[in-house]
A = this chain, B = another copy of it.
């Protein structure tokens, strides 16, 4: 829809690049920044000065000499403004605050009941997030420009939803298994309620953004699969998040993987990937086999214990995911496919997926392909949310 969906920010060009280089520890001095960013020393000097006067950067004493003048070290100040983030899942939500460099400050997990509807679910989570940033009303009005903004005020909130989100409008569209959410304008609702800018996106997209920035910032093309209760994917093309026309890019959950008399899916079709390989499908299939299992955690435990049925199901799920991803890899030719979510912990699933990919893809497409588990951990979603807020709200270059 928009011309530039997500500015390729922290890499080349954007003024945030310098900030990120310092925050990541890659650069400590202005000279480092010039070398790493490719900008001229004079430009770096200029920009650093601007960042310091905005309160986004500060000097931190002198470093060690490398045979010449000692560098004046730079650091990202702690205690500045905050970003709120919510990563909503099928049964649990993760929420927290992060600083303007995208580092987690505080994080919590809460059980949620999606079926209570968007107002109730989001309302409670928003209240908790805003409570984590008490600085909002402690801000000194006159100094908002000079000092980074009072106590620890909230500059924006990023929210991930486990279903399709029309990013331009912030609406949730035709989600399966989220009764009462269809068409809900989550962005507007949250922005009105908190009086703070809000961005809303699909949870897999946020995972992709978080993991890509944290682990693969130098790679141009990547696919991140989130396999938990449901299955989704986030797509990076040319260093930017690819959301597609309706914002539903990466939604592979209803691709067909088994011939016609397959298991019935929540979407009404049969044989969908989600009906075969998602966490919910594993739980359902085990129960059908008479194995008493509570939830996905129970399934994971069975697999860890070496239960035959559960392990076989996990292998089959991995094969199914691999079959779809094989098409995706041939078509998209990414540099990396990373899998996250609860099911990524499942070794048999991962192994089957890998095997299927290598078997079914062009050798050309897999020869240099990284197939990994997501390395950023359970906070990856809220980290991606914060990245999005930084890109779109804090510093939309």
A residues in contact (CB < 8 Å) with B: 1, 3-5, 8, 11-12, 164, 173-174, 220-221, 233, 235, 237-240, 242-252, 254-256, 259, 267, 323-324, 326-328, 330-335, 360, 362-365, 367-369
**Cβ contact within 8 Å between B247 and A333:** yes
**Cβ contact within 8 Å between B327 and A245:** no
Contact of A242 among B237, B267, B327 (CB under 8 A): B237
Known: A174-B364, A245-B334, A251-B333. 12 other contacts (CB 8 A): A3-B11, A3-B12, A173-B364, A237-B237, A246-B367, A246-B368, A247-B333, A251-B331, A254-B362, A255-B327, A256-B360, A324-B327
Contact of A331 among B233, B245, B246 (CB under 8 A): B233
Task: Return chain B residues, CB-CB under 8 Å to A367.
Answer: 246
Q: How far is B257's CA from A326's CA once the two chains are assembled, in angstroms?
A: 12
Copies of this chain in its oligomeric complex: 2
Nearest B-chain residue to A323, judged by Cβ: B256
A372 to chain B, nearest CB (A): 15
Task: Return chain B residues, CB-CB under 8 Å to A248.
Answer: 330, 333, 362, 364-365
> A-side binding surface: helix, strand, loop or mixed?
loop
**Cβ contact within 8 Å between B238 and A327:** no
**Cβ contact within 8 Å between A244 and B332:** yes
**Cβ contact within 8 Å between B244 and A334:** yes
Task: Return chain B residues, CB-CB under 8 Å to A256.
Answer: 323, 326, 360
> Given A246-B367, A248-B362, are A331 and B238 neighbors across the interface (CB < 8 Å)?
no
Listed residue (A5, A249, A369) with the most chain B CB atoms within 10 angstroms of its CB: A249
A164 to chain B, nearest CB (A): 6
**Cβ contact within 8 Å between B242 and A332:** yes
A324 to chain B, nearest CB (A): 6
A220 to chain B, nearest CB (A): 7
A331 to chain B, nearest CB (A): 5
